[in-house]
Amino acid sequence: MAKLYFYYASMNAGKSTNLLQADFNYRERGMATMLWTAALDTRSEGRIRSRIGLEAAAHRYTPGTDLWAETLARHDVEKLACVLVDEAQFLTAKQVWQCARLADAAGIPVLCYGLRTDFRGDLFPGSAVLLGIADALVELKGVCHCGRKATMNLRVDAQGAAVRAGAQTEVGGNERYVALCRRHFSEAIGRAGG
């Protein structure tokens, strides 16, 4: 039976690298895959890129993309062994359920990779649904500057100071976000005292 997987972590924990490795493993065995990434991330230009230099072409999804229909159209042409979704935190609830349907009704495993929480420590909508319905949850480990497991994503300004307010989504990399353990995240945003 195919399953819906959610691989989640803080930023800089290797989510895209892990996805690209899984894609390589399928393709090395002669199996077809379909890769998706968020159109919202304008840096990607239709590619999934890892910080260590790996990359692959991917289909881009927006909130209006019907992942069920588009994936099945491809599956009708070339039998898919797996669907891999990067930046899964940006999926809508409807799209997460479409991914679940691909696993349940079409028998195609779906591997989603994304952030669990935003820069305030709040769940992303797509991540919340994935945490609720995925068959398997896998935490990938990032590292805080103190050596503890990084679970939080701190947004910083140009001077490196913590940003405490703003839109949930702001595209950026190391120049805008720092992965921290909960203790150092709490201290940085002023939640250490409760």
Structure-token pair, residue 52: 């260590």
CA distances from 144 to 17, 67, 148, 181 (A): 19, 35, 5, 5
Q: Is 87 a catalytic residue?
A: yes
Catalytic residue among 87, 139, 170, 175: 87
**By the 8 A CB rule, do 70 and 59 touch?**
yes
Backbone angles phi, psi at 18, to 5 degrees: -60, -45
Return the sign of the alpha-carbon dihedral for residues 145, 20, 82, 128.
positive
**By the 8 A CB rule, do 32 and 68 touch?**
no
Structure-token pair, residue 93: 């609830």
Q: What angle do CA 169, 46, 105 make, to 5 degrees?
A: 85
Distance, in Å, from the CA atom of 186 to the CA atom of 180, rounded to the nearest integer, reads: 9
- Active site members: 87
